[in-house]
Chains A and B, each alone.
Chain A
Amino acid sequence: MIIGPIGFTVPWLLVALAALPILWVILRAVPPAPIRRRFPGVALLLGLRDDDSVTDRTPWWLLLLRMLAVAAVIIGLAGPVLNPRDEGDTVRTGPMLIVLDASWSSARDWPSKSALLDTMLAEAGRASRPVAVLRLTAPEPPVFQSAESWRSRLSGLAPSAWAPGPGDMAQAAAVLGDTSFETRWFSDGLAREGRDRLLQALESRGPVTVHESAVPVLALTPATVEDGTLQVTARRVSPGPAREISVEAHGRDPSGVPRLLATLPLNFEAGATQATGALTLPAELRARLTRFEIAGQSHAGAVTLTDDSLKRREVALIAGREDREGLELLSPLHYLEQALEPSADILDGALMDVLPANPDVIVLADVATLSGAEQAALLEWTEQGGMLLRFAGPRLAASDVARSEEAPLLPVRLRAGGRSVGGAMSWGEPKALAPFAESSPFFGLPIPDDVTVSAQVMAQPDPTLADRVIAQLSDGTPLVTRKRIGTGQVVLFHVTANAEWSSLPLSGLFVQMLERLAVSSAVALPDLAELQGTTWQPVQVLDGFGTLREAGTLPGVDGERLISDMIGADLQPGLYEGPDRRFALNVIAPDTELAPTTWPARVPVTGLERPPEAPLGGWLLAGALLLLMADVIASLALSGRLAPARAAITGIVAATLLIPGGAEAQTQSDRDKALLAASEVVLAHVLTGDPQLDEMARSGLMGLGETLFFRTSVEPAAPVGVDLEMDELAVYPLLYWPVTPDQPIPSAEAYVKLNDYLRTGGMILFDTRDANVAGFGASSPNGRKLQRLAAPLDIPPIEPIPDDHVLTRTFYLLQDFPGRHSGRPVWVEAAPPDAEQVEGMPFRNLNDNVTPVVIGGNDWAAAWAMDSRGNPLYPVGRGFSGERQRELAYRFGVNLVMHVLTGNYKSDQVHVPALLDRLGQ
């Protein structure tokens, strides 16, 4: 039975609703039940009478409450169902073929698709219909099996990262066989060649229903570099209303952990199918990019991988002479810097310093001789694919390099002296450039007329010379020569890199030549000719959901297929590794067209969603329970027995509020703790998580507090342990931090607090408690832990405590700072470099601050520790000398607290002469 959107599974139970009025009458007549109590004083009650009887009839609203509860129970048991499945017209018989596009664009809706598929298979199983599944990305002849067996394999059906090609569609149409069946087609919503033919083939065998999501698919095209920014373009299948999406740029952080590096919002205008945005990233960040991804679209089409083409080149510039200060325009590197700066990262430094950075290009401007080690390292770097670009100059011309035999790092042998043309002492005009040969990398560059060469170094004629010349002058002398070494190359410009010998560096041609040599430009996309004959090995491939997986044993592919072929099962999208670079093969190429499917009107197309059946019985029964609970409370209230029940109700309410209440209580107790610390002097120690150590630190600070109380006017309250993550630190003058190898490293937020604490005058006493056996070479576990703990802290330079540090005389005169151990070096903030001892003064005018850290390993807390009766807890040394050591430890503690509280007050004596002078004495 169906009423509106609600159906009932057991409708005859609703008849019981007719009994409700009878219930009304019965309930009305029954007064609330009495409660029985034991009461010894009943003997005194005997014979007493009630003045007026309490209501013996139930009030109407309580009746209504009960009637509602009973009605809810009846209706709930009748099995109401919202949106009951109307199974009448979908039940068909005969075999069923399920066609899945199973392409990357199906991946987005895959969960809802497989859910729908699951219910469909379940229905087919109930109707005993044989089912076959055909995936268009991997068409195989359909095998009709029981629906249950398909259902168990459902989780194994995953979408592919590519789309079915025309060949796949044709093959799918061919393998259908002769049996007739009903077809359910899960379309991915993208138009493609061969869909119509397959549809006809399917329709000839039975009715076809198409399931397709109405949400348009978004796709991302590979990012390109324009004017130093990254251009990111997203497409959508069909124009629609304006929409904003965000593109995430993922990459690795410096430690190699994958992270989200940047987010770029993109806006689709209303009616537009394409949205473009520019992303500006620093070069280092850009070099670490691995992929772009449209947020929230989990399919391979929304992911583009990046390869070497996005990276900026790193160029190291090294000149032979840098000593001509001021003459910038004559600097051998000036024009190179100008040409390269917009498009490349320039490294400066000595050759051996920049080589470990593995730059892409090293430029040697007029560098003649290299030391043996430099030459070997440079050669090795070049052999591994480096590009060495050399310029001639007076030094090279004057040197003996490559005179008699070919130098390994020069392309050609050079003749002594070079030549000068068109000068005052020579014949002839300055030479112009000859057009570039076809084999030259500069082929096709226009040569400006005003580029002339007036001096150059000359190549020695050689059998290999002709092959190595890539640019020459109009008289045929080589201007640029190149030699390949290993996978790298050496290029020599036979002129200077400045305008001394030629006007080439002044011209635009110079920049273009550098670009062609791939010095300045990013790595250009390889073209077809370059890829021919090479084999590329897949390293990582994308699956349909846009996740990168290791390629495993996938075979290598021919280079030209990377550009010419469509992606498919044997050419999966992903990262390929070639001879000297990586190539990213993306699902969406820059020219991929996306168009929505158009189905003929005769084919029924439905969405993926079905309004789910919602049984309401549970809700109604739960509501009835709630009503009955309300009835219990109301009945108690009516019969005046709510008072004892109130405690229970308060308890329940308190229990339900316990969790937020707990948090509140937490902050409350934190506030109390901070309030206490702010109203007294409270020494604090950092909780390390080791209960024994924390107890020791606490009793140590307590002992120190007692000592201070007896000997000085500092009267500290009981020490507290602070949790760096939770507690407010600003209220504690001193933090004692015992170091154990296994205490947790505080979080970043805690370090922010600690740094604030240190900057605003707090002091941390680090205690490695190992007597500093290893010195601060940090080979003891505690020392290493201390280094790790203190690394994020903003600690100034430190030094072993000098003899005239104010800490040696804030209360006691001390020269040793023993704790339980008596290791000597205790480290404090270093004195300013200009601190000097004034004549006649016993100490220097040191820091005008409290040192933010004191670092040592003498286990002070153990020496200070005392129990509640003032007895020392841990032995120190032996006999009298041990007691003396403990006394000195207390004195150090007193001095430390005095130093924290009074700052450099004791250092002010340094000003006494000046004050006396000012007073005229």
Chain B
Amino acid sequence: MTLSAPLRARSESEASRFPALLARAEQLAGTVLLGEHGRRRAGMGDDFWQYRPVQAGDELRHIDWRRSARSDTQFIRQREWQIAQSVTIWVDQAASMRFASGDDLPEKADRARLVALAISILLNRAGERVGLSGDEVPPRRGEAQISRVAEALLREGEADYGAPQTEGMAAHGRALFLSDFLGDIAPVREALTAAADRGVQGVLFQVLDPAEESFPYRGRTIFESVGGTLAHETLKASELRDKYLARLAARKDELRTLCSKTGWQYGLHHTSDSAQSALLWLYNAFDGGHGR
């Protein structure tokens, strides 16, 4: 009883956050209008693609009598081929994402979840199968999948810096990695290589806080990671600024070259910008992929 009460309270509060996140994500997704994207070729689907004259081997029931009546030949109405792809999303749940430099800024994790869920909703509406990396939420379609994704996204990881998971990634599917990518770069490289090996293409989306871009610190400071495992003391923080920015730029460059080698796309988002811009960029990145 003594244990269950806080557990109950915590789960209540977690559950109360969950619809909020879902609602925000729905709202965000509502800003991007789309239907099911066609394959630009005839096939199974609901949308009209073209009329073509009847050829040998066509079934009679496929003849479009209304079109055929207007001419001498008979036509078959073809529909556009629509298929679904699997999209696997990895959102960094590590402690480093739970950081916001100001009260008016959201945490990086919050923004990453929001964007991930919103793109999930969009992809789901577009008929794709969406899932999270790992074994828990494999890619599926349907509204219920969105709830499962949202629930899984709210979990928080213990580690200080996260590493991408490649398990559960469907071959020749697509993937989205959302993280700040400030930790060790080696797991990222491994994950991307593995994904490229399995024919998975995707998007690497770096979410950074403005403070991480500008480093507005001065004076004698001890910097600690959010999880508290790393610490660095300096007597004059302002002196470190240029060196830090150089390292950050090097990290971004590294990610970019990694992406270009593996055929992924690299995106950068700051929590001070609107979530909608991130969503639009991501949506274009995925849609552009289809178009190719």
On whether the beta carbons of B99 and A38 are closer than 8 Å, the reply is yes
Residues of chain B within 8 A of A32, CB atoms compared: 220
Pick from B211, B215, B220, B248: contact of A54, CB under 8 Å: B220
Residues of chain B within 8 A of A31, CB atoms compared: 220
On whether the beta carbons of B225 and A48 are closer than 8 Å, the reply is no
Pick from B108, B219, B244: contact of A639, CB under 8 Å: B219
On whether the beta carbons of B220 and A43 are closer than 8 Å, the reply is no
Chain A nearest CB from B207 CB (Å) reads 11
Over the window 31-68 of chain A, the binary record of Cβ atoms lying under 8 Å from chain B Cβ atoms (1 yes, 0 no) is 11111111111111110101111101000000000000
Over the window 169-193 of chain B, the binary record of Cβ atoms lying under 8 Å from chain A Cβ atoms (1 yes, 0 no) is 0000000000010111000000000
Nearest residue, chain A, Cβ from B224: A38
Interface residues of B in 210-261 (CB under 8 A from A): 211-212, 215, 217-226, 230-240, 243-244, 247-248, 251
Is B96 interfacial (CB-CB < 8 Å)? Answer: yes
Residues of chain B within 8 A of A45, CB atoms compared: 223, 232, 234, 240, 244, 247
On whether the beta carbons of A48 and B240 are closer than 8 Å, the reply is yes
A35-B219, A40-B209 as given contacts; A53 in contact with B243, CB under 8 Å: no
Interface residues of A in 2-41 (CB under 8 A from B): 31-41
Chain B nearest CB from A646 CB (Å) reads 12
Q: Which of B215, B224, B232 has the most CB of A within 10 A?
A: B232
Is B205 interfacial (CB-CB < 8 Å)? Answer: no
A397 to B222, CA, bound (A): 125
Interface residues of A in 552-572 (CB under 8 A from B): none
A48-B232, A640-B236 as given contacts; A39 in contact with B223, CB under 8 Å: yes
Pick from A35, A41, A56, A643: contact of B248, CB under 8 Å: A41
A-B contact pairs, 15 of them (CB 8 A): A35-B220, A37-B223, A38-B223, A38-B225, A40-B212, A43-B161, A43-B182, A43-B183, A44-B244, A50-B236, A50-B240, A51-B236, A52-B239, A53-B236, A54-B220
Chain A nearest CB from B268 CB (Å) reads 15
A34 to B244, CA, bound (A): 19
A41-B212, A41-B248, A46-B230 as given contacts; A36 in contact with B243, CB under 8 Å: no
Nearest residue, chain B, Cβ from A32: B220
A56 to B235, CA, bound (A): 9
Pick from A37, A48, A56: contact of B217, CB under 8 Å: A37
Chain B nearest CB from A636 CB (Å) reads 9
Residues of chain B within 8 A of A41, CB atoms compared: 182, 212, 215, 223, 244, 248
Q: Which of B211, B231, B235, B238 has the most CB of A within 10 A?
A: B235
Extra contacts, 8 of them, besides A34-B220, A39-B212, A54-B219 (Cβ < 8 A), are A31-B220, A38-B224, A40-B225, A41-B223, A43-B230, A44-B182, A45-B234, A640-B236
State the majority secondary structure of interface residues on A. loop
Chain B nearest CB from A434 CB (Å) reads 112
Residues of chain B within 8 A of A50, CB atoms compared: 234-236, 239-240
Chain A nearest CB from B55 CB (Å) reads 62
Chain A nearest CB from B247 CB (Å) reads 4
A45-B240, A48-B232, A50-B235 as given contacts; A40 in contact with B221, CB under 8 Å: no
A641 to B218, CA, bound (A): 6
On whether the beta carbons of A36 and B235 are closer than 8 Å, the reply is no
Chain A nearest CB from B263 CB (Å) reads 27
Residues of chain A within 8 A of B180, CB atoms compared: 40
A45 to B224, CA, bound (A): 10
A641 to B237, CA, bound (A): 10
On whether the beta carbons of A35 and B161 are closer than 8 Å, the reply is no
A424 to B170, CA, bound (A): 157
A46 to B247, CA, bound (A): 11
Nearest residue, chain A, Cβ from B250: A44
A50 to B236, CA, bound (A): 7
A35 to B224, CA, bound (A): 11
Residues of chain A within 8 A of B231, CB atoms compared: 42
